[in-house]
Copies of this chain bind each other. A is one copy, B any other.
Amino acid sequence: MSEITYHGIDIGLLEGGEDLVELLLEAFEESETPTLQDDDVLVVSSKVVSLAEERIVELDRVPVSPGAERIADVTGIDAREVELTLRESTILGVIPVAEIVPDRLESYAVSPEAARDALETLPALLVTNWNGRLCTNAGIDLSNSPEGTATLLPTDPNASARRLREEIRERAGADVAIVIADSEVSHRGGSVDVAIGCAGIDPVDSNFGATDLFGSPKVGGVDLLADELAAGAAVLSGQAAERRPVVLVRGVDYDRNGGIDDDVDLVRAGFWPTLKRTAQVKLAEHLPIPRR
């Protein structure tokens, strides 16, 4: 393995309820797109999985609880978004973005006005435990959603990945791996895509303690392969993720069934306890969150 290729696949814009595999197979029939082969990896944006699975909520139909109202008052986040976040996840804390990094965000913005508008829409991020994964706002996405709607993450991304993999095998005869990717706030201050579910690929290289070139056991070797693939695919999809939400990766050397049986839970767990504590520290400072 000395070459890996990433191809962006345009499957058009989804509105909700589409047959994702059909859209994919249609795209692969086009002349510019390579044919699917065994051992290919498909990195699929969680957004299109959510849309295909109709995980779309009309904000006006969300009844807001007093707890959500209270968090919305303190943080400035839309109360309906807070309510959805409370339903989908456990809120651990808050990152008061508009308060702590407005200057930095202006330097990253398309314009200072755009930065201010965006921070007015969402002045803070809630740190949440969603399905054992640390993420912001339970992964709920109001951008690139039709006016007045929000998109929730797939209920069980591993199961979604398994379904996609099986359907592709049945309908196209190709034995591929699926990685479902979502953007995540990096501790480095921007975002990088990570894997939130996968099928047919061991998401972790399990080589802890392997001997190095000089025969010593190495403290390392636990490479998060699925996360690396998600990040690599984001280079291609980038800002145009909504137009190329699927990236075909060819040439990756991976295990179909690694030591952890297609289970990404271990990937997620990591240094959880540490980060959980951080979030709570921020929480104590900024937000009296009611228990529900």
Q: Is the CB of A270 within 8 A of B188?
A: yes
Contact with B along A175-190 (1 / 0, CB 8 A): 0000000010111111
Q: Does A172 contact B (CB under 8 A)?
A: no
Stretch at the interface among A48-56, A61-69, A199-207: A199-207
Q: Is the CB of A220 within 8 A of B114?
A: no
Residues of B within 8 A of A235 (CB): 4, 225, 228-229, 232, 249, 252
User: Taking the nearest CB of chain B, how far is it from the CB of A10, in angstroms?
Assistant: 8
Q: Is the CB of B13 within 8 A of A7?
A: no
Chain A, 83-123, CB within 8 A of any chain B CB:
95, 97, 100, 104-105, 107-111, 113-119, 121-122
User: Taking the nearest CB of chain B, how far is it from the CB of A39, in angstroms?
Assistant: 14
- In Å, the complex CA distance between A244 and B2 comes to 8
Query: Which 3 interchain pairs have the tightest Cβ spacing?
Result: A189-B270, A232-B232, A114-B209
Chain A, 185-225, CB within 8 A of any chain B CB:
185-194, 204-214, 216-225
Q: Is the CB of B282 within 8 A of A212?
A: no
Q: Does A8 contact B (CB under 8 A)?
A: yes
Q: Is the CB of A3 within 8 A of B7?
A: yes
Q: Which residues of A contact B (CB under 8 A)?
A: 1-8, 10, 13, 32, 95, 97, 100, 104-105, 107-111, 113-119, 121-122, 134, 142-147, 183, 185-194, 204-214, 216-225, 227-229, 231-236, 238-239, 242, 244, 249, 252-253, 259-260, 266-275, 277-278, 281-282
User: Taking the nearest CB of chain B, how far is it from the CB of A142, in angstroms?
Assistant: 7
User: Taking the nearest CB of chain B, how far is it from the CB of A243, in angstroms?
Assistant: 9
Q: Is the CB of B208 within 8 A of A118?
A: yes
Interface of A, secondary structure class, is mixed
Out of B4, B205, B272, name the residue touching A5 (CB < 8 Å): B4
Out of B2, B147, B231, name the residue touching A231 (CB < 8 Å): B231
User: Taking the nearest CB of chain B, how far is it from the CB of A197, in angstroms?
Assistant: 13
Residues of B within 8 A of A225 (CB): 235, 238
User: Taking the nearest CB of chain B, how far is it from the CB of A158, in angstroms?
Assistant: 15
User: Taking the nearest CB of chain B, how far is it from the CB of A239, in angstroms?
Assistant: 6
Q: Is the CB of A121 within 8 A of B210?
A: no
- In Å, the complex CA distance between A259 and B107 comes to 7
11 contacts between A and B (CB under 8 A): A3-B7, A108-B204, A121-B219, A186-B227, A188-B224, A188-B227, A189-B224, A192-B223, A193-B228, A205-B238, A274-B282
